[in-house]
Amino acid sequence: MYLAILSLAAVLSAGTTGVTADDLDAAFKSIQKLNPQTDIAQVKAQATKLFTMAKQLASEPAPTEEGLEKSNHAKRMVWIKEVEQYTEYVVSAAATQAPQAAHIELVGMLELQNPKSKYLDALYTRYLYSLHQAGQGAKIPAIAEKAVANFPENEDLLLIMADHTFTRKQTAQALNYARRLTAVMSKHPCPEGYKPADWEKKRSAALGRGYWISGVIVGERNQYIEADQDLRRALPLIAGNSVMMESAYYYLGLSNYQLGKMTMNKAQVLEGAKFSDQAARLGGPLSVNASHNAQVMRTEASRMR
């Protein structure tokens, strides 16, 4: 398809930008000769050149009068878009194979050129990890916030934003991201190239974090039914993380106690006491309150039939 479109180059020369269609055609043929797996530095240099030239050509104003010139301009814009898309593909292929520093540069280039490029979605997992490993973790939240607007079902971006907003007590945003994360992870199949066991591990961790964040937030808001549902889903997925388990047990205790009181369900009140005991045994910052809550709940249950 690209060669068919590029064959139009001879008749689609640009007018006023200083860059011609022939220039772009020559640059395109040069990048086609490169191997993205080995010619990483050359890909970066050639792609930078191609993106700049394409942007210059694309900025040419369209003729206002109908006719051959206007028709050729429209064809030229389509051709330029095809060149850009192919160049994005080459950059993404090189980024996939590149060592850490080059990977960061190539993905950053692609983000600047086209933040909605279809190739970015699959690159974010390694890109975000590479930034963290390179000591550039402070950049990640801002990158993720912009990127998730373009890739609203990317689980890595959603997880980062759920965590980031939750730790900053931006609870409305955190709840939104956490809900979206659990919805995405509940329906996404194992991606191509992932080992099923690795995907299941990632899926369970993301679901656990999402349900825990949403459960704690609605628990703090006294939304007892939602908190009970979310935190029960989280429990088997966060086993072994004492910090998360403590707050999960704590809000499960409060939620079941309140729901039991509202429905005069003694067994549920006692279940709330049991959850509170489990939170107290973990010895974290909520342990004293959880121990006190368990005593109050048992006293309340003793008064119920």
Domain ranges of the chain: 1-151, 152-239, 241-305
What pLDDT was estimated at residue 13? 42
Could you tell me the pLDDT band of residue 2, with boundaries at 50, 70 and 90?
Answer: very low
Specify the amino acid at residue 82: E
Sequence-separated (6 or more) residues with CB below 8 Å from residue 35: none
What pLDDT was estimated at residue 66? 78
Read off the pLDDT of residues 141-174 as tens digits, 9 standing for 90 and up.
999 999 999 999 999 999 999 999 999 999 999 9
Instruction: With 0.75 as the threshold, say if the pTM is over it.
Output: yes
Does residue 268 surpass a pLDDT of 50?
yes
Read off the pLDDT of residues 51-75 as tens digits, 9 standing for 90 and up.
999 999 888 888 777 767 778 888 8
What pLDDT was estimated at residue 287? 97
Torsional sign, CA 167, 172, 176, 179: positive
Does residue 116 surpass a pLDDT of 90?
yes
Type and span of the H or E element at 184? helix 171-187
Could you tell me the pLDDT band of residue 9, with boundaries at 50, 70 and 90?
Answer: very low
Which token pair is 129?
A: 């990890």
The pLDDT mean for the chain works out to 92
Sequence-separated (6 or more) residues with CB below 8 Å from residue 31: 43, 46, 47, 50, 87, 90
Of 11-20, 227-236, 248-257, minimum mean pLDDT range: 11-20
CA atoms of 268 and 270, how far apart (whole Å): 5
What pLDDT was estimated at residue 7? 41
Pick the residue with more confidence: 120 or 57? Answer: 120
What pLDDT was estimated at residue 18? 72
Question: How much of the chain, in percent, has pLDDT values that exceed 70?
Answer: 94
Could you tell me the pLDDT band of residue 1, with boundaries at 50, 70 and 90?
Answer: very low
Could you tell me the pLDDT band of residue 15, with boundaries at 50, 70 and 90?
Answer: very low
110 touches 119 (CB < 8 A): yes
What pLDDT was estimated at residue 70? 76
Identify the DSSP state of 283: T
CA atoms of 40 and 93, how far apart (whole Å): 9
Question: How much of the chain, in percent, has pLDDT values that exceed 90?
Answer: 82
Give the residue-averaged pLDDT of 213-233.
Answer: 98
Residue 281, Cβ density class (10 Å: 0-12 exposed, 13-18 middle, ≥19 buried): middle
CA atoms of 95 and 85, how far apart (whole Å): 15
Listed in sequence order, the DSSP H helices in 2-67 are: 2-6, 21-32, 40-58
